[in-house]
Amino acid sequence: MTVSTPSPLTSDADWWRSAVVYQVYVRSFADSNGDGIGDLQGIRERLPYLRDLGVDALWLTPFYTSPMVDGGYDVADYRDVDPMFGTLGDFEAMITDAHALGVRIIVDIVPNHTSSRHPWFQAALAAAPGSPERARYLFAEGNGEHGEQPPNDWESIFGGPAWTRVPDGQWYLHLFDPAQPDLNWRHPEVRAEFEDVLRFWLDRGVDGFRIDVAHGMIKAEGLPDVGFNSMTTGRRQSELLGKGRLPYFDQDEVHDIYRAWRPILDSYPGGRMAVAEAWAETPQRLARYIGPDELHQAFSFDFLDATWSADSFRKVIDTALAESTIVGAPTTWVLSNHDRQRHVTRYGDGEVGLRRARAAALLMLALPGCAYLYQGEELGLPEVLDLPDELRQDPAFLRTGESRDGCRVPIPWSGDLAPYGFGPAGSELSWLPAPATWRALSVAAQAGVPGSTLELYRAALRIRHTHPALAGTDGITWLESDPGLLAFRRDTGGAVLTCVVNTGDAPVLIDGYGQPLVASEALTERDGGHLLPVDAAVWFERR
Ligand code: GLC
Ligand code: CA
C-alpha cells in the first residue's frame, strides 16, 4: 500500500448527509507557479480561505493525466496527476493539509469513457477487429453496402454522430468527443480496473467520488436506434436528457456497477461516499441511484433548472424531498457547476441576476440535505458571455456553437489587474481572461465588506453549521404565504428557523417569524415587522 492520510474526521460517517461541498474547477481556482493554469499546490495554498468560508468538503474536477481535450474529462492515466496540475506528491500534501483543517476531499471519477490516448484505446486501435483489445471499447461494423454509415443513429452530447470510423473500417462509440471513446462495461476487465482505481484513491485518503456520467456506462443490448437525431429531424437527442429514455443512458444494468462499488466504499473507515452526475427520465428513476446498497447522492438538477419563481422552486423542492424520504438519503442541491451557465446570469444577469442569486443561496442553504457550491458563486460571479471565440476551449463549441468556457474563467482573488491574483505576485497569465468588472468582485475586494456576497455566504454557512434548527435532517414545513413568496420553517429541539424568499414584484411586509438572522438585501423595519424587498431572501429565528 501507499501513503494513507489518516483523517481526524473519521468519526462522523454520516457527514455527507448535511455537508456543504465546494466544487473546485482545478484549472481555474488558483495557479501556484505562474503558468496561467490552476493547480493542486494552488488549492493547497488557498485551503485556509475555504475553511474560513465554512465548507465541509471540496469536490475536485479531474486532475489526472490527460490531453485535455475536454478539460480533463478525457483521462489517459487514472492513477496519476497531469503535470499541468502537479504531481501525486502535491495531491498527497494537499489532502493531508485539507484533512488537518477539517476539510474533506472528493475526487471526480470518469468511468464512462477514457481518453483516446489511454493505453487501452491505443492498443485497441493497433489491434484487429474482433480482438480482445477492441472488446474493452464499443467497436462495431457500420451500415450500408460498404459499412460507410455509422452503426446506428446515436448522437454525441457534444453534437454530431456518436461514432467515428477507424482506418480498417470499424466504428467506435463516443457519446462525447471522438477523443473520449466509451468503454464496454459488460467487460470484466473494465469493471476490475475501475474497482482498483477506486481503491487507489481511497488508499490515498479521499473521502468520496463524484461519478461522471453515472447513468451512461451501460448501453442497451443490440445498440438500437433512438429514432431521430439532429440530422434527420433537426431535434437533438440530448434534449431528452432528464426528460426521456435513451438507449445509451439510464439502463437498469448500470445499477449492478454501483452495487459492486458500494462495499468497496464501505470497507474504508470514515464515511467514504459517492455522488452521481446522473440524468434520468423522472425523479423516481434518478432516486434509484441512491440507497444503502448503491450511491449516497445524486445531484438534483431540477433545482438548478428551476426558474426564478416561487412556484417553480416549490415544485422541485417538494418532489426532491419526497424522493429523498423514500430512499432514506438527503437531497443534493446545486445551483451552478462547470457545465452550466452561472446562476447570476441564468436569473437575469446584471444587478437583478446577482440579487436573485444571493437570495437563491439563502434558499438552498436553508434546505435539509447536502448543498454543492461552485467556485466563485460565493463572489457573485456572472457567466462571462463575451470570451473571444479563439480562446474558447470547450470541445462542444466547435460542434454546437455552445460553450461552457464562460463559467470556467479563473477566480479573482485580489489586486487591480487581471488575472487578479489568480497566479503568484506579478503573474499576468491566465488560460482564460477575467473581465475588468471582476476587479470589484475579487475575494480581497469583498472580504470584511458588510453586505458583500462573500460575507453573505460566510454568514449563512456559519449559521447553517451552528443553528440548532438546521441541525436535523428532517423535512421542511411550508408556511402559508402570498403568491410570489416562498416561506418555510425548519425546527429541531425547540429552535425555529424560517426562510422567506420574495420572487414577486413588490416588497412584502413580514411579521411574526422572530428576529432576522441574515438577509440577502437590507431589510427595513415597518409596523413592528420587516419589509423584504423584491428578489431577496431572509432567515428569521425563534428559540
Ligand atoms: C460530464 C462533465 C462534463 C464532461 C462530460 C464528459 O457531464 O461534467 O464536463 O464534458 O461529463 O465527460
Ligand atoms: Ca499552474
Say how many Å lie between the CA of residue 241 and the centre of ligand 1. 13
Q: Does 447 have pLDDT greater than 70?
A: yes
Share of the chain above pLDDT 90, in %: 93
Q: How far apart are CA 513 and CA 479, in angstroms?
A: 11
Q: Does 6 have pLDDT greater than 50?
A: no
Residue with CA nearest ligand 1 atom 7: 213
Say how many Å lie between the CA of residue 277 and the centre of ligand 1. 9
Residue with CA nearest ligand 1 atom 4: 73
Q: How far apart are CA 164 and CA 295, in angstroms?
A: 33
Q: What is the pLDDT of residue 168?
A: 98
Which numbered ligand comes closest to the C-alpha of 115?
Answer: 1
Which numbered ligand comes closest to the C-alpha of 61?
Answer: 1
Catalytic residue among 82, 212, 323, 394: 212
Catalytic residue among 39, 277, 378, 394: 277
* 212 tagged catalytic: yes
Share of the chain above pLDDT 70, in %: 98
Q: What is the pLDDT of residue 295?
A: 97
Which numbered ligand comes closest to the C-alpha of 215?
Answer: 1
Say how many Å lie between the CA of residue 193 and the centre of ligand 2. 30
Mean pLDDT, rounded, for 451-472: 96
Residue with CA nearest ligand 1 atom 2: 212
509-516: Cβ within 8 A, 24+ apart: 510/538, 510/540, 513/540, 513/542, 514/540, 514/541, 514/542, 514/543, 515/540, 515/541, 515/542, 516/540
Q: Does 77 have pLDDT greater than 80?
A: yes
Q: How far apart are CA 261 and CA 196, in angstroms?
A: 10
Q: What is the pLDDT of residue 2?
A: 45
Q: What is the pLDDT of residue 4?
A: 46
Residue with CA nearest ligand 1 atom 3: 339
Say how many Å lie between the CA of residue 176 and the centre of ligand 2. 27
Strand order in the sheet with 485-492: 477-478, 485-492, 495-502, 536-542, 515-519
Domains of the chain with CATH codes: 15-114+188-388+448-462 (3.20.20.80), 119-173 (3.90.400.10), 475-542 (2.60.40.1180)
pLDDT in tens, 396-436: 998 888 999 999 999 999 999 999 999 999 999 999 999 99
Residue with CA nearest ligand 1 atom 9: 339
Number of other CB atoms surrounding residue 3 within 10 Å: 13
Say how many Å lie between the CA of residue 38 and the centre of ligand 2. 5
Q: What is the pLDDT of residue 415?
A: 97
Task: Locate the ligand 1 atom nearest the alpha carbon of residue 73 and give its number.
Answer: 12
Q: How far apart are CA 98 and CA 149, in angstroms?
A: 51
Mean pLDDT, rounded, for 504-524: 97
Q: Does 3 have pLDDT greater than 50?
A: no
Say how many Å lie between the CA of residue 345 and the centre of ligand 2. 28
pLDDT in tens, 189-225: 999 999 999 999 999 999 999 999 999 999 999 999 9
Q: Does 479 have pLDDT greater than 60?
A: yes
Q: What is the pLDDT of residue 269?
A: 95
**DSSP assignment letter at 54:** T
Q: Does 7 have pLDDT greater than 60?
A: no
Q: Does 282 have pLDDT greater than 50?
A: yes
Q: What is the pLDDT of residue 237?
A: 97
Q: What is the pLDDT of residue 9?
A: 66
Q: Does 512 have pLDDT greater than 60?
A: yes
Q: Does 370 have pLDDT greater than 90?
A: yes
Cα-Cα-Cα-Cα dihedral of 348, 238, 287, 275, to 10°? -80
Q: How far apart are CA 335 and CA 537, in angstroms?
A: 16
Q: Which of 94-98, 235-239, 399-403 has the lowest mean pLDDT?
A: 399-403
Q: How far apart are CA 151 and CA 166, in angstroms?
A: 13
Q: Does 14 have pLDDT greater than 60?
A: yes
Split at pLDDT 50, 70, 90, the class of 318 is very high
Average pLDDT, the chain: 96
The cell for 347 is: 436569473
Question: Which residues form the pocket of ligand 1, taking CB atoms under 6 Å from any ligand atom?
Answer: 70, 73, 110, 176, 212-213, 277, 338-339
Q: How far apart are CA 147 and CA 140, in angstroms?
A: 10
Mean pLDDT, rounded, for 8-20: 84
Which numbered ligand comes closest to the C-alpha of 90?
Answer: 2
Split at pLDDT 50, 70, 90, the class of 505 is very high
Phi, psi values for residue 238, rounded to 5°: -65, -15
Q: Does 280 have pLDDT greater than 70?
A: yes
Task: Locate the ligand 1 atom nearest the alpha carbon of residue 404 and give its number.
Answer: 9
DSSP string, 454-493: HHHHHHHHHHHHH-GGGTS----EE----TTEEEEEEEET
Q: How far apart are CA 25 and CA 530, in angstroms?
A: 39
Split at pLDDT 50, 70, 90, the class of 49 is very high
Q: What is the pLDDT of residue 111?
A: 98
